């Protein structure tokens, strides 16, 4: 049920728009409800126009990221023996015997931040966390391409641990606790996107873990740099969809009791 909601009922998604248009057209064909059909379609168009403006997703991300926008201070690195990097999405492309696994922008930025932090520490363990999600094309564990980028960045394979069975933040928190304990890691950094950090911190703390937040960059340096903040575009709509999805996830996690108390 939750997967269906994430797929079809997130405001800003194309499926939600198509469902909304269908409802509006049905209302238009019911003479007694024509006015409501016009109002519904007008509202739907207006909402999607607003969500397609870069200003909208920037505002939502600013709220989600509040308190988690700065790189970790070097003064807290003493005693850190582990870095946990949470996956940010990937896609598996196959053709015959060939296969390529590509991380999302968020996933790449998180791993790059992990590489940067590794070289500031004394050979910490680096745990990359991310499983599969066939609904969105992730048929190979996300942790594998994450590991490959770490190695290219100079992190020894012998210092990398894989957590490849989780499909969401809650499962990551459940799975990583025993791994950290097994390798004697008590003080560790947690790397994820700023907009995801609030939910990640709350989820991990609810499992009795105390990570140090180490946010990556939210977007690449040149992301939408040449676009007006008020002119709608498809990239901004997708970012708004992701922000709305994160807000919905925060509410869902809170209702399930998966977040620690403030």
pLDDT digits (tens, 9 = 90+) for 3-57: 667 777 899 999 999 999 999 999 999 989 999 999 999 999 999 999 999 999 9
Give the residue among 175, 109, 118 at the shortest CA–CA distance from 141: 175
Q: How confident is the model at residue 224 (pLDDT cuts 50, 70, 90)?
A: confident
Q: How confident is the model at residue 234 (pLDDT cuts 50, 70, 90)?
A: very high
The number of beta carbons lying within 10 Å of the beta carbon of residue 185 is 19
Q: What average pLDDT does range 107-112 have in this prediction?
A: 97
Nearest-10 crossing angle of helices 54-65, 34-51: 70
Of the chain, the percentage scoring pLDDT greater than 70 comes to 97
Q: Which residues are CB-neighbours of 59 under 8 A, at least 6 positions away?
A: none
According to DSSP, residue 11 is labeled T
pLDDT digits (tens, 9 = 90+) for 148-187: 999 999 999 999 999 999 999 999 999 999 999 999 999 9
Checking 94-102 for CB contacts under 8 A at 24+ apart, the result is 94/139, 99/140, 101/140, 101/142, 101/144, 101/145, 102/145
Give how far the C-alpha of residue 191 lies from the chain's centroid of Cα atoms, to the nearest Å: 11
Give the residue among 187, 239, 171, 156 at the shortest CA–CA distance from 72: 187
Nearest-10 crossing angle of helices 143-152, 105-118: 50
Tell me yes or no: is domain 52-262 CATH 3.40.50.620.
yes
Spatial distance between the Cα atoms of 43 and 8, rounded to a whole number of angstroms? 19
Q: Record the pTM.
A: 0.92
Q: Which residues are CB-neighbours of 245 under 8 A, at least 6 positions away?
A: 6, 10
Positive or negative, the CA dihedral 142, 148, 151, 157 is: positive
């Amino acid at each position: 049920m939750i997967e269906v909601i994430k797929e079809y009922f997130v405001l800003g998604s194309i499926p939600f728009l198509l469902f909304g248009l269908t409802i509006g057209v049905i209302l238009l064909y019911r003479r007694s409800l024509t006015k409501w059909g016009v109002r519904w379609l007008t509202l739907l168009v207006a909402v999607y126009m607003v969500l397609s403006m870069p200003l909208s997703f920037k505002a939502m991300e600013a709220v989600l990221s509040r308190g988690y926008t700065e790189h970790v201070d070097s003064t807290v690195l003493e005693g850190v023996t582990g870095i946990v990097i949470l996956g940010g999405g990937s896609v598996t492309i196959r053709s015959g015997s060939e296969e390529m696994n590509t991380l999302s922008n968020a996933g790449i930025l998180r791993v790059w931040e992990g590489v940067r932090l590794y070289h500031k520490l004394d050979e910490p363990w680096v745990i990359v966390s991310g499983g599969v999600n066939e609904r969105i094309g992730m048929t190979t564990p996300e942790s594998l391409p994450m590991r490959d980028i770490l190695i290219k960045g100079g992190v020894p394979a012998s210092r990398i641990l894989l957590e490849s069975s989780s499909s969401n933040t809650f499962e990551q928190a459940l799975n990583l606790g025993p791994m950290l304990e097994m390798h004697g890691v008590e003080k560790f950094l947690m790397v994820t996107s700023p907009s995801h950090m609030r939910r990640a911190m709350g989820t991990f703390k609810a499992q009795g873990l105390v990570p140090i937040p180490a946010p990556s960059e939210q977007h690449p340096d040149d992301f939408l740099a040449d676009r007006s903040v008020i002119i709608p575009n498809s990239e901004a709509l997708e970012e708004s969809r992701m922000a709305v999805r994160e807000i919905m996830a925060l509410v869902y996690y809170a209702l399930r009791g998966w977040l620690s108390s403030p």
